[in-house]
Amino acid sequence: MSNKKMWRTGLVVLALLLLAGVPWYGSDVLIQFGINALLLAVLAQGWNIIGGYTGYASFGNSVFYGLGGYGVAIAMVQWQLPFGVGLVFGVLLAIVFAVLLGLPVLRLKGHYFAIATLALSQVMTAIVSNVGLAGQNIGLVLPPLNNDRLFYELALGLLVIATLTIFWLTRSRFGFGLIAIRENEEAAAVMGVNTTLYKVLAFTLSGIFSALAGGIHAYWITFLDPESAFDISLNVKMIIMAVFGGPGTVLGPIVGALSLSAVSEFLSSEVTSVAGLFFGVVIVAAVVMMPLGLADMLRRFRKTGWRYFIENIRIHRL
């Protein structure tokens, strides 16, 4: 192993140890912030599979998040089953949804695919609002569990698994197939990649992590209703965080999620009127000045300096 790889590995291990120690040295407020930030990082990593590696900008991951939450809520409230069973049920719902909807929707490309997935959240909200088992418009109240340390550890553990999955993608034939689809889907098909199967599997894998994050969050906040469960703004956040950190990279979405969560939390507490505009400004700046995210910017900035930003601005004709 080269010195550069050893240095990177050491930094990752140190960061993981610092994050793992938050429940022991952090305040209650910091732990609660950490749960939210870690779950957003999981969502960004999940979106990274379908958006960053496969090249399909999905706005439907919030549906998986909601299905995961409702899987836990229905299992625990309506059927009096354990939390773990609810997580499994939510994942199964996400898998079924991903396969049934992925087959027709993933035949679309570009903005057509984005528009189609954008409508999924509204459709699912309307459907769940009329299902008695899901509490209709009123929602479901889960049994409380006042154990933020447990939820923090669950969120961190899920993020580690999601990141290891992304790391595996960078070294597996499946991951290479997804990258080939992102770069040129027609050429990938000619090379023997089963593009339909690969895209559906990526969509499903992305949905599994989103559903698990939704299930953990639902049990943590102990309440779920259709509007909050299938909130499209959550999908926008995960995309912004992944794009800001670096789509198609292993650690980029984590860096984007944690850094943007911290800044957003500061703005919402110190300058409330500006917080709502923050994510809009960030996405415009990120797309224009560093379209490949922080990871690409840090790598190239050392070689090109400020010319990196000037070049990107010139490309976008600003």
208-265: pLDDT as tens digits? 999 999 999 999 999 999 999 999 989 988 998 998 888 999 999 999 999 889 888 8
- For 281-312, the pLDDT digits (tens) are 766 777 677 766 776 676 666 666 667 667 77
Confidence of residue 162 (pLDDT cuts 50, 70, 90): very high
Check residue 153 and give its pLDDT: 96
Tell me which residue of 31, 115, 86, 116 sits closest to 214, measured CA to CA: 86
- Decide if 82 is inside a domain: yes
- Decide if 66 is inside a domain: yes
- For 171-215, the pLDDT digits (tens) are 999 999 999 999 999 999 999 999 999 999 999 999 999 999 999
Structural domain total, the chain = 1
- Decide if 122 is inside a domain: yes
- Decide if 250 is inside a domain: no
What distance in Å separates the CA atoms of residue 65 and residue 215, rounded to the nearest whole number?
7
- Decide if 185 is inside a domain: yes
Q: Which amino acid is at 98?
A: A
Check residue 133 and give its pLDDT: 93
Tell me which residue of 171, 154, 172 sits closest to 209, measured CA to CA: 154
- Decide if 265 is inside a domain: no
Check residue 56 and give its pLDDT: 94
- Decide if 1 is inside a domain: no
- Decide if 125 is inside a domain: yes
What distance in Å separates the CA atoms of residue 232 and residue 64, rounded to the nearest whole number?
11
User: 37: which 2 tokens?
Assistant: 């930030």
Residue range of the domain that includes 50: 25-232
